[in-house]
């Protein structure tokens, strides 16, 4: 080897040029994996937040169900909440560590992208929710906390109008079993009458104010009829001077964004009845008949129209919810409603019909309902909350059926009921019969639902 060769090798060894490029090339791959891992873990954290909300909601709903019904309820809520994502969930683990608590645990696996090249195919997160189990006898769908020890009064009917002269009226009822239902009337007015209800009993048009009125309704016995004003002498188990309670559902029901009205979903008043192929927004004057597909049905007035009405004519359907989007829109049920049942899980769990609060008052009549002599607690004719705070709702000619529903309206009239058993719906009202009671309402159907509470000094008589 010559001296020149030796000098060349020594120069090559001491040359530091190009080191930065070499080091960058060698570190580029680990940097890419670090960034990719951050993205993958970020997606897993998003899934964890979504899963926690779903587990909370599922636990609230399951706590008020019988043990045998909890697994299906929890699985349905989790599946609905995580639908549309790439996340897969384990079978929920449901445990009751004590007699008054329930725990739901679910693990979610989020698929990875960059980390998958390192054989890390997914990232798993586990979330748990623990809730209180309602006391024995509480219907499903509502978790309650109350002070005191007296038995709770479960409400099937709530009339909200503070100025109506007749808030709650039962006319010509027989074989009408409401023995586990309470009715609450809010009005303490002595002059005003519900709009459009001139056909109510002439004997009730004097100067006396009435919260509840029975006319030819002998033998009808609610668990209690609690009125702000005076009840007439025919009311059984009545209490007068009850404090007015706040609307327990106004802050807890889910928000709905209705689709716009177009020629494809707007029907004139002369349109023939039909069975819709799918749920959705309907405008104008549609008439549904037959078995309706499960889902949310929205009724609203078309642009330029002063009114809209959805008529349910001999309609049925399990897992259905109806939403009134406009003040001028109504829903009429006629000629039988056997088989209209609210969803048993998901966002609209336990809600058959609802609307925003704050609409102007209007008269709505439902006639000729149920007629389902084979109905029972295991197979009810009609289920779900009907939340219509602006309607003077008159329900007439109900025969032969089993109903599990809670009705909230501006005023209520039950006219000509026969052979009907009525029980609270899965979303219902609790008021304790204490000198001072705190009634808390927490629905399980809507994610993020909050309790609507009121302190009410109900008279214990």
Cα Rg of the chain (Å, integer) = 30
Q: How far is CA 237 from the centre of its chain?
A: 30
End-to-end CA distance of the chain: 118
How far apart are alpha carbons 272 and 239 in whole angstroms?
A: 47
**Among 44-48, 138-142, 166-170, which stretch is predicted with the lowest mean pLDDT?**
138-142
Reported as a single tens digit per residue, the pLDDT across 356-393 is 988 998 889 888 777 777 788 888 888 999 999 999 89
In this prediction, residue 444 carries a pLDDT of 39
Residue 460 pLDDT > 50, yes or no? no
Which residue reads 């090249």 in tokens? 117
Output 158 or 37, whichever has higher pLDDT: 158
* pLDDT for res 220: 75
- Residue 292: band (very low, low, confident or very high) from pLDDT cuts 50, 70, 90: very high
**Position 296 pLDDT exceeds 90:** yes
Which residue reads 């049925």 in tokens?
A: 316
Q: Please give the pLDDT value at position 294.
A: 92
Cα distance between residue 112 and residue 129, in whole Å: 26
Across 291-312, average pLDDT = 90
Q: Is 43 helix (H, G, I), strand (E, B) or coil?
A: helix
Whether the predicted pLDDT of 342 surpasses 80: yes
CB 438 within 8 A of CB 452: no
- Domains of the chain, by residue range, sit at 12-132, 152-254+347-456
| Single pTM value for the model | 0.62
Between 301 and 44, the higher pLDDT residue: 301
Closest CA to 351 of 245, 444, 246, 247: 444
pLDDT at 37 over 80: no
Task: Write out the DSSP string of 316-329.
Answer: EEESEEEEE-STTE
For range 224-247, the mean pLDDT: 64
Q: What is the pLDDT of residues 186-215, one digit of tens each?
A: 776 544 343 333 344 434 444 444 455 656
| Burial of 306 from C-beta contacts in 10 A (0-12 / 13-18 / 19+) | exposed
DSSP class of residue 204 equals G
As a whole number, the mean pLDDT across the chain is: 73
Which pLDDT band, with edges at 50, 70 and 90, does 12 fall under?
low
Token representation of residue 64: 């008020």
């Amino acid at each position: 080897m010559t001296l020149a060769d030796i000098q060349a090798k020594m120069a090559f060894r001491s040359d530091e040029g190009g080191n930065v490029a070499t080091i960058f090339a060698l570190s580029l791959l680990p940097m890419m994996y670090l960034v990719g891992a951050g993205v993958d873990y970020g997606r897993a954290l998003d899934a964890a937040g979504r899963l926690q909300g779903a587990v909370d909601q599922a636990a609230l709903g399951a706590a008020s169900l019988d043990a045998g019904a909890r697994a299906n309820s929890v699985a349905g809520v989790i599946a609905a909440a995580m639908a549309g994502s790439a996340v897969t969930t384990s079978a929920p683990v449901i445990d009751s560590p004590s007699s008054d608590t329930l725990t739901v645990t679910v693990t979610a696996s989020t698929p990875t992208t960059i980390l998958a090249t390192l054989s890390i195919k997914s990232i798993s997160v586990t979330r748990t929710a623990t809730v209180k189990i309602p006391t024995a006898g509480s219907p499903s769908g509502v978790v309650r906390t109350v002070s005191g020890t007296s038995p709770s009064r479960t409400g099937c009917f709530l009339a909200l109008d503070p100025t109506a002269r007749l808030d709650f009226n039962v006319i010509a009822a027989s074989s009408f079993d409401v023995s586990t239902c309470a009715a609450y009337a809010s009005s303490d007015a002595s002059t005003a009458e519900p709009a459009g209800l001139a056909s109510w009993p002439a004997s009730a048009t004097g100067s006396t104010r009435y919260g509840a009125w029975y006319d030819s309704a002998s033998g009808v016995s609610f668990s209690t009829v609690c009125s702000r004003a005076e009840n007439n002498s025919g009311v059984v188990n009545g209490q007068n001077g009850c404090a007015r309670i706040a609307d327990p559902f106004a802050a807890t029901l889910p928000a709905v964004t209705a689709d716009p009205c177009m020629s494809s979903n707007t029907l004139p008043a002369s349109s023939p009845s039909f069975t819709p192929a799918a749920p959705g927004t309907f405008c104008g004057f549609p008439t549904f008949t037959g078995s309706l597909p499960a889902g949310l049905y929205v009724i609203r007035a078309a642009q330029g129209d002063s009114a809209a009405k959805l008529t349910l004519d001999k309609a049925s359907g399990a897992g259905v919810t109806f939403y009134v989007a406009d003040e001028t829109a109504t829903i009429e049920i006629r000629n039988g409603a056997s088989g209209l049942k609210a969803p048993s899980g998901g966002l609209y769990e336990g809600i058959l019909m609802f609307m925003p609060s704050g609409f102007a008052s209007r008269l709505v009549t439902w006639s000729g309902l149920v007629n389902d002599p084979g109905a029972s607690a295991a197979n009810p004719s009609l289920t779900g909350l009907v939340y219509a705070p602006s309607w003077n709702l008159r329900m007439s000619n109900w025969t032969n059926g089993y109903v599990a529903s809670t009705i909230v309206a501006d005023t209520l009239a039950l006219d000509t009921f026969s052979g009907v058993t009525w029980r609270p719906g899965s979303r219902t009202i609790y008021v304790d019969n204490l000198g001072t009671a705190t009634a808390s309402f927490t629905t399980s159907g809507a994610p993020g639902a909050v309790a609507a509470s009121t302190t009410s000094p109900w008279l214990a008589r």
